[in-house]
Each structure stands twice: as structure tokens, then as C-alpha cells.
Structure 1
Amino acid sequence: MRSVFFDPGQMTARLELEAPEATPDGQGGATVSFVAVASLWARIEPVSEIRQEQASADVFTLTHRIWLRFRSDITAGMRLRKGERVFVIGAWRDPDERGNYVVCLCEEESQ
């Protein structure tokens, strides 16, 4: 497989990697909160903006491609945070299968 050229100097965003943690609510269910796992440098690339109408209001979904140094502990459902901005990881991949970088395909949550 061909090597992917990527300049690590483009990783200028400082993000917090967060993992979901379920806490029993005492009634058979659970409350999900997120716990910071690591602080890391990343490159955020906006990919698309999708506009939908729901209940006569416009709802926008923003998607991003976020490059990180390779980590083996990333899973779908984790999220990345930059201040108040939250990016939910839907999928991830190693672009050249060499274990150098991970590209996360994310949707930005609106607060």
C-alpha cells in the first residue's frame, strides 16, 4: 500500500479524547457520561455540511475528518472535544496501514 504523506506540523488543534462511561441509575438503566482519556494534537478538516428540515426548523450536520497520531484504543462512540465543540467519532481508519496516523470520521454535535 502506498504511504500517505502528511505533515505533522499541521496538527495545530489541541483536543481531549473522551470515552463513554455508563453509571447505573438504580432502575435498570444507565446514565452515560464522558471521561477524558487523553489530551492530544490533531488536524481538523471540515468535510461537509448537511441541511435538513425538522419540525419546520433547519438542522445542520457538520462532518469533519480529524487526523491524530496512531492510537490503538480509539473506538466508534468516543468523542473529541475542543473547548465547547464536541466531535463524535463515527468511524476511524489507518490511512496507509502503517500505524503512523488515525483518521477519525466525525460529526460535530450542536450544543
Structure 2
Amino acid sequence: MPDGAGGFSTSWVALGTLWAELRAGSGSERRGLIAPEGRMLFRVYLRAASQGSPQRPRPDQRLREGGRIFTILAVSEADPSGAYLVCHAREEVPA
């Protein structure tokens, strides 16, 4: 959305509620401006939706659990039958 000063601001809108299983993945540490910063990746398992369906999560979306926010990095089928999806996500840490 235009911010009125020549720039843009981003806002998020809830699209629905999902059942999901959250599993911690790999973590890493990198050098930050002031101190080392940790980075944790997660796998979020949920019921499948077909390619092109508006119910299927996309990498430009986020998932939320209470106050925790997860940026979706990639989405793939979690099992051969296609009953579940796995969203590879990174937890956002407020600055």
C-alpha cells in the first residue's frame, strides 16, 4: 500500500485457520551487527490442497501461531499419497 510519502508499507490479512504440526528443523548462528544472531528453520505439516488452489499456502505468505510468525520459504507434498503438505519456514523474530 502507498504510505503517502512516496514509499510503500506492507500489511497482512488473515486468510483462514489451519490445523498444523510444527517441527523444528536445523538452526544456525551468524554474525549480527551487535551480537550473534540465531536462525531456526521449521517444517510445518498440514492437510494438502491441490496446486493452484487458493487454500494451498505459497512462499509469499506467512503462518502464525499465537504471537509467533513463520515466513513460508517453500511448499511441497509431505507424503507419496499427497494427503499432506510440508511448508519449509523460518521464524520471524521481532527486532
Q: Pick the TM interval, shorter chain.
A: 0.7 to 0.9
TM (norm. structure 2) is: 0.82
TM (norm. structure 1) is: 0.71
Unaligned runs of 5+ in 1: 1-22
Partners of 1:27 and 1:109 lie apart in 2 by 27
Give me the identity figure in percent. Answer: 36
Unaligned runs of 5+ in 2: none
Alignment match of 2:7 (pick from 12, 29, 39):
29
User: 1:98: how far off?
Assistant: 4.2
CA-based RMSD of the aligned residues comes to: 1.7
Please name the residue that 1:9 is paired with. Answer: none
Q: How many pairs are equivalent?
A: 89
Structure 1 ranges of 4+ moved more than 3 A: 26-29, 96-99
Output aligned runs, 1:1-111, within 5 Å.
Answer: 23-71=1-49, 72-73=53-54, 74-96=57-79, 98-111=81-94
- Please tell me whether the aligned partners of residues 42 and 89 of structure 2 are also in contact (alpha carbons under 8 angstroms): yes
